[in-house]
Amino acid sequence: MRDFHFPGRSAVHSTNAMVATSHPLATEAAMQILREGGTAMDAAIAGSAVMAVVEPQMTGIGGDCFALLAGRSGPVVAFNGSGRAASAASAARLRDHGHTDVPIDSVHAVTMPGAIDGWFRLHARFGSLEMARLLRPAIGYARGGYPVHARVARDWTRAQAHLAKRDATRALFLPAGRSPSEGTIHRQERLADTLDLIARKGPRAFYEGAVAEAMVRTLRSHGGVHTAEDFSAVAGEFVDPIATDHHGRTVHQVPPNNQGITALMMLNLLEGFDIASMRPGSAARLHVEIETARLAYAMRDRQLADLASMTVGVDDILSKSWAAELRRRISPHRATTDIGPLGLRTSGTVYITVVDRDLNAVSFINSIFDSFGSGILCPETGVLFQNRGHSFSLDPDHPNAMMPGKRPMHTIMPGMVTENGRPVLSFGVMGGDYQPIGQARVIADVFGQGLGLQEAIDAPRVFPQDGVVEVERSVPSGVLSDLEDLGHKLRVANDPLGGAQAIRIDHDSGLLTGASDPRKDGQVAAY
C-alpha cells in the first residue's frame, strides 16, 4: 500500500466495466460507449480515435494499430494492423544516396497507414454500435477544439524544431509560431472532415478516392514513391498470437513483425532467477532486468522482421532450453560487456485497455512512432504520416531489410496474460524500444514480487543503451551506487521511460483493478 503522506495515485476498482488510457478525454469517451451498451472493442476504438486527435504527437490515423482480445473463455485473438512499405520502396536507392539507415524524418520512412483499416476490421468482428457513434467524440474534439494537456504540451514543445521544417505542419501545429501551452485550445478542422467522411462512408473513403489522392499528392511532393494502389491495397489481418508460460500463467503477444516476442524472451530468461527473493527496486532486481533485456534486444535486432523474412523460427526464439543456455552468460555480480551495440531509443505512442461488463478484455495500441511521426502533414486531409519505415534496415542481408510491400519490425505491442484460459491482465507499456523491458517489468513485479498494479507501474525505471543504462531520476541514490558497483555505467534519462496502462481481472470475485501511468496524462475510469 502506498504511503498516503505523499502524492500519488490509487488503483481504481470496479465490478462492472473499466477503461484505462493515456488521456482523460479518451477515457471518458470510451466509458460513455460502455455505458451505452457498447462492447470492449467499441470502447477501444472510440478512445483510440479521440487520442488520435488530442495526442497528435503520439498517434493518429496516419499510423498503425495492433490488438489482443480475450473473452471469458476461448482463445486469445491477435490482430496486426501495421502498414507496409510502398511498392516502389528501394533500399538500394537510399544507399546510393549515402544513407546507412532510413532517415527518420523523411518521406522514405512513411509506410502505409494501417489504423483505419484495423479499426473497421476489428469493429466488424467485435463491435456492436455504429462506427459513426464511435468516431463522434473524436470528430467533435477535432472540429470544436480540445484543451492541450500537460504531458502533451511538454512533448509538443520538445518537437518544435521537427514541426517547423515543413510549411503545412508548421501552420497547423505551431500556431503563432510556437507550440501550444497547457490549456490552449487546439483545432484540426481538416482532420475532422476526414474522420466524418470515414464515419459516414467507411474505410474505403480513406484508402480510395479524394482522401487517398490527396495523401499520395502530398507524399510524392516530398519525394515519396507512394501510389494510389499502395493505399487501396492496405489490409490488416487476424493472426495467431504467440505466447510463453511464465510461473503458471500464459503471456500473449502479437507475432513478428511485432517486437512482442522480445518481452517473452525476457520472461523466459528471468524465470531462472529468484525474483521473489529480491527486494523490489533493488540493484539486484534491476541488474537481472538489465542483463536479460540486453540479451533479448540483441536477439531482436539480429532476427526480428516481417515473419516471412525471418531466418530463425518463433519456436526457436522462445525455446526454454535456449533461454537456459543464454542465461549462463549473465552474472549476478557483474554487468555484461560483450553484448555489442543495441541502438535503442525511446519514442511515443498511446495505449488503451478496456474490460466490458461481460469481462471481454481488449488490449489496443495505436501509434505514428516518433514524436509527430515523419512530420509530413497532408494539408487537405489533416493526416499526419507515421515514420515507421525508419525501423527497416538498409543492409540487404538483414531479415528486416527494406523491401517493397514489406512490413518493418514494429515496436508497438499490446500485452495480455491469461490463467486457466481466462484473461487476468490486459496491459501495455508505451515508449518505443522500451516496451519489451517495460512489459517484462510489470509482469515480474505483479506476479513475481506481489506488487500492486499501480505500484508496479509507478516504480522507477531503467533502460539499457549502448554502453550505458538510462535511469529515471526517481531511482534512489543508494540503488544507483549499487548498480555502479556491479559495473553499470549510468545516465539520467532525458525523458520519463515510457508509460503504461493495465487492468487486472479477478474472475472469482468479479473485481477489476485498473492503473494508469503518472508519467503521462492518463486516467482510469469505471462504473
Cα distance between residue 34 and residue 23, in whole Å: 17
349 classed as catalytic? yes
Q: For 51-80, give the secondary structure using H, E and C.
A: HHHHCCCCCCCCCEEEEEEECCCCCCEEEE
Residue 225, Cα to own-chain centre: how many angstroms? 27
Residues 6 or more apart whose Cβ sits within 8 Å of residue 321: none
Cα distance between residue 95 and residue 394, in whole Å: 7
In three-state secondary structure terms, 233 is: coil
Cα distance between residue 165 and residue 482, in whole Å: 44
- What phi and psi, each to the nearest 5 degrees, are found at residue 128? -135, -40
Ranges assigned E (strand) in 368-413: 377-378, 383-384
Q: 27, 349, 418, 513: which is the annotated catalytic residue? A: 349
Cα distance between residue 452 and residue 1, in whole Å: 8
Amino acid at residue number 208:
E
β-pairing verdict for 511-516 and 523-526: unpaired
Judge contact between 517 and 21, C-beta under 8 A. Answer: no
Cα distance between residue 279 and residue 284, in whole Å: 8
The grid coordinates listed for 22 are 493515456
96: buried, middle or exposed (CB in 10 Å: 19+, 13-18, 0-12)?
A: exposed
Residues taking part in catalysis: 349
